[in-house]
Structure 1
Amino acid sequence: MQGENGWKRVGDVFLVFLRLGLTSFGGPIAHLGFFRDEFVVRRRWLDERAYADLVALCQFLPGPASSQVGMALGYLRAGYAGTLAAWLGFTLPSAVVMILFALGVTRDAGAIPSGVLHGLKVAAVAVVAQAVWGMARTLCPDARRVTLMTAAACCAALAPFAWVQVAVIGAAGVAGLALLPGRDLPAPAPLPIAMRRRTGFFWLLPFAALLVALPLFARFTADPSLTLVDAFYRAGSLVFGGGHVVLPLLQAETVPRGWVDAQTFLAGYGAVQAVPGPLFTFAAFLGAVRQVSPAGWTGGLLALGAIFLPSWLLILGALPFWAQWRHLGWAQAALAGINAAVVGILLAALYQPVWTSAILRPQDFCLGLVAFVALLFWRVPPWAVVGMCGLLGGLLG
């Protein structure tokens, strides 16, 4: 059971992730930058290397990588309850907005001025650039790892597909084994992961069982709620890369079935770009706006829970294995290579889509540069930089 101090930690986790859920614009790559600044730089819940290890682990898993990193951070701080608190705090703000939008409370998808939205994109450039800068200094300290970082960045930029990122990370792990002997690397800092591998199997078994059983039961029973859960559970289980990568799968699951028409789907897709937090909350909109029952709040919450449930099971199942393997010599060498590749993938993402969608004119470059200097040298909190960029973007727009 949680003691008084334990519940205080759970409350702290929820509040900090709630603030991030209200201010983290820019998509999953920007979210990783916000997380790094909050939990590595400011709060020091873990060190740079452990954070990069977490990011690398979540890149291997299907589902929304930034949300999975948040769940893992919540577990490290406050156990199972912390995992749930982190997910709720980071996800609920955008999920509630998307359900309200689906219900017609917000009738104008363009209620937020386009200049403000563009300023928020510029803020994401600064946040990601700061994360890449800081991680590169720590995780790429020698020529071999800088070379791995560069190769990973080039591959990810030239072939911007989720499967390429997974392949690059795997190749970097092999390169790390060959080029970076584990005995020459410092031992990683221990992390408070008390789970045994047997417990990890306990979490992985329902993930696999639901993936197989839900389609069968949904077809056999024809229950509309079960059919909804099956569609969104499979979407969360089978897509790598998260974010925009899941949208074609969601379109194939909803539009041909007549749950949502194409115009409404695109309206929701446009709206989810204007809210902070994970893009997977688009599922809440699709569940709420369905033209068949269950819809509304019930459908939205069912779809939201179903699409995130695989991520919750996978991250809890993988953590005990990752915690033990990262201390082995061969695993340290592989992780050193993988971490360098993660920095490279973030560097490629800084260019496309973060930079190319935001820096369109000299004013954008100047605003992004000011935001980067404010973050890196003046230590201005990210939420303040985001607010500043949104305000100035609105004025410039």
Structure 2
Amino acid sequence: MPQQPVATQGTAREVFGAFLKLGLTSFGGPIAHLGYFRTEFVERRRWLDDRSYSDLVALCQFLPGPASSQVGMALGLGRAGWPGLLAAWAGFTLPSAIALILLALSITQYQHLAQAGWVHGLKIVAVAIVAQAVWGMVKSLCPDRPRAALGFLAALLTLVLPLAIGQVTAIAIAGLLGWWCLQPTQNSRSQAHNYPVSRRLGMAALIAFVTLLIGLPLWAAITGSSTLALLEGVYRAGALVFGGGHVVLPLLQSAVVPNGLVSNADFLAGYGAAQAVPGPLFTFSAFLGAISNGALHGWAGGLVLLAVIFLPAFLILIGALPFWEDLRHRASIQTAMAGINAGVVGILGAALYDPLWTSAILNKTDFGLALLCFGLLTVGRVPPALVVLLAGVMGWTMGMAS
């Protein structure tokens, strides 16, 4: 039977409906999201062919930011233009963001919830989930001695230097050492899918990305505004996530916990809850904005931080699309990215110890529950949402027994 032609045009309403279904049902993290996308948009709807989808996934895994969300944005852009991009992001992102904002408002209104046993269970399961992420990233991103060494170096820098400085320094040094020491991989050329983004617009997006990354912290330092400092920290978190969405944990923690906007207990409880909802992990920022005790809080705070954390992912995607074919085959880019990816494993490993372990594992019982959750995730292959539910129930049970 001859293959049906690939559909090339659509409407924003169609895009929103397709991604809303995925936003309500896509559990399992970014790798699972990419599988859902392929089934829905390559096999079933035929918005693009398999090779174009593979090229798009390669681009978004190469870039900083949430890979699955960037793939979704590009799919919406290719299907229905700029309205389609916005519709894809909204449909995939808002369901989990709204759920996390509602949880944050509940904790804010009923203060006793923050001390409940099930909340402590969410903090414990966060340890297991990040440990699973580190385990998987070590095998894929640090498979040899040079990259393992970069991971250890990044972990040490993150633990020794102050939070934000240590993370940025670790990423920069890992990228430079990777560019200098590592060997490039051999990639075969393939034909890329075209997107309605000119080189001029792509360059403007890249300039905006860098300007905000440099200008926001300077503006916050000059004005002394705590609100600007919060926005800068969340933007930086969205801009510097390489290698996996879990890396956003230490970056966001340094933006909201040391300045007292969010308690460490609430931060870890929200992170655990974020594993139980579908959609991208970046919606955790909506929880933080809603529960913050600063000028930005509630629904406004949640939606603002949600937009801010995704802004760099949007800018870097639009900036890269017109130049992707040239960038992806440059040896210097490949080796620098390999070094950065190894470095973020170290950053996430450091975060596994502090703040996760130091705040959540208080006794042998807590360690036992964390070990059980880790085993269910890695050996039992139990879906994260079910493991989170189990941890919450067991945390509630332990709280009742104490």
Normalization by structure 2: what TM-score? 0.67
> Counterpart of 1:383?
385
Show structure 2 runs of 5+ residues with no match. Answer: 1-9, 40-52, 78-84, 220-224, 238-250, 275-283
**Does the Cα contact within 8 Å between 1:244 and 1:279 map onto a contact in 2?**
no
> Counterpart of 2:3?
none
Structure 1's 9 and 395: CA in aligned 2 closer, same or farther, altered over 3 A?
A: same
For 2:200 and 2:266, how far apart are their aligned partners in 1? 42
> Counterpart of 1:317?
315
Question: Given the alignment, which residue of 250, 254, 269 partners 1:245?
Answer: 254
**Does the Cα contact within 8 Å between 1:185 and 1:332 map onto a contact in 2?**
no
User: What SS is found at the alignment partner of 1:111?
Assistant: helix
- Following superposition, the deviation at residue 132 of structure 1 comes to 0.9
Residues 248-306 of structure 1: per-residue CA shift (max 9 Å, x gap): 7987xxxxxxxxxxxxx77x88766644342454434569x97xxxx9xxx84444444
Amino acid at match of 1:35: G
- Following superposition, the deviation at residue 341 of structure 1 comes to 0.5
Matched, 1:35 2:37: no
- Following superposition, the deviation at residue 392 of structure 1 comes to 1.1
> Counterpart of 1:362?
364
> Counterpart of 1:222?
none
Matched, 1:88 2:94: yes
Show structure 1 runs of 5+ residues with no match. Answer: 21-33, 59-67, 217-229, 252-264
Structure 1's 203 and 305: CA in aligned 2 closer, same or farther, altered over 3 A?
A: farther
**Does the Cα contact within 8 Å between 1:367 and 1:389 map onto a contact in 2?**
yes
Structure 1's 83 and 205: CA in aligned 2 closer, same or farther, altered over 3 A?
A: farther
Question: Given the alignment, which residue of 24, 49, 56 partners 1:15?
Answer: 24
**Does the Cα contact within 8 Å between 1:122 and 1:389 map onto a contact in 2?**
yes
Matched, 1:111 2:113: yes
- Following superposition, the deviation at residue 238 of structure 1 comes to 5.3
> Counterpart of 2:230?
235
Matches within 5 A, 1:151-300: 151-182=153-184, 184-186=185-187, 194=195, 195-201=197-203, 203=205, 232=227, 235-237=230-232, 240-241=236-237, 242-247=251-256, 274-275=269-270, 276-277=273-274, 278-284=284-290, 300=298
Residues 136-166 of structure 1: per-residue CA shift (max 9 Å, x gap): 1111111111111111112112225112211
**Does the Cα contact within 8 Å between 2:132 and 2:377 map onto a contact in 1?**
yes
For 1:347 and 1:303, how far apart are their aligned partners in 2? 29
> Counterpart of 2:222?
none
**Does the Cα contact within 8 Å between 2:30 and 2:67 map onto a contact in 1?**
no
> Counterpart of 2:335?
333
> Counterpart of 1:75?
73
For 2:335 and 2:14, how far apart are their aligned partners in 1? 37
User: What SS is found at the alignment partner of 1:181?
Assistant: coil
Give the aligned length: 328
- Following superposition, the deviation at residue 8 of structure 1 comes to 4.8
**Does the Cα contact within 8 Å between 2:151 and 2:343 map onto a contact in 1?**
yes
Residues 65-114 of structure 1: per-residue CA shift (max 9 Å, x gap): xxx56642532554412222333123211223445666xxx3x2113653
**Does the Cα contact within 8 Å between 1:36 and 1:131 map onto a contact in 2?**
no
For 2:107 and 2:122, how far apart are their aligned partners in 1? 20
Structure 1's 363 and 160: CA in aligned 2 closer, same or farther, altered over 3 A?
A: farther
For 1:393 and 1:154, how far apart are their aligned partners in 2? 32
**Does the Cα contact within 8 Å between 1:233 and 1:310 map onto a contact in 2?**
no
Residues 198-236 of structure 1: per-residue CA shift (max 9 Å, x gap): 333555677869x99xxx9xxxxxxxxxxxxx9856732
User: What SS is found at the alignment partner of 1:379?
Assistant: coil
User: What SS is found at the alignment partner of 2:29?
Assistant: helix
- Following superposition, the deviation at residue 191 of structure 1 comes to 8.3
> Counterpart of 1:148?
150
Structure 1's 352 and 44: CA in aligned 2 closer, same or farther, altered over 3 A?
A: farther
- Following superposition, the deviation at residue 352 of structure 1 comes to 1.0
Residues 12-45 of structure 1: per-residue CA shift (max 9 Å, x gap): 332146xx6xxxxxxxxxxxxx634643688789
For 1:304 and 1:132, how far apart are their aligned partners in 2? 28
- Following superposition, the deviation at residue 372 of structure 1 comes to 0.9
- Cα RMSD of the aligned pairs, angstroms, is 4.0
User: What SS is found at the alignment partner of 1:110?
Assistant: helix
For 1:352 and 1:5, how far apart are their aligned partners in 2? 44
**Does the Cα contact within 8 Å between 1:70 and 1:86 map onto a contact in 2?**
no
For 1:271 and 1:331, how far apart are their aligned partners in 2? 38
Amino acid at match of 1:9: A
Structure 1's 171 and 206: CA in aligned 2 closer, same or farther, altered over 3 A?
A: closer
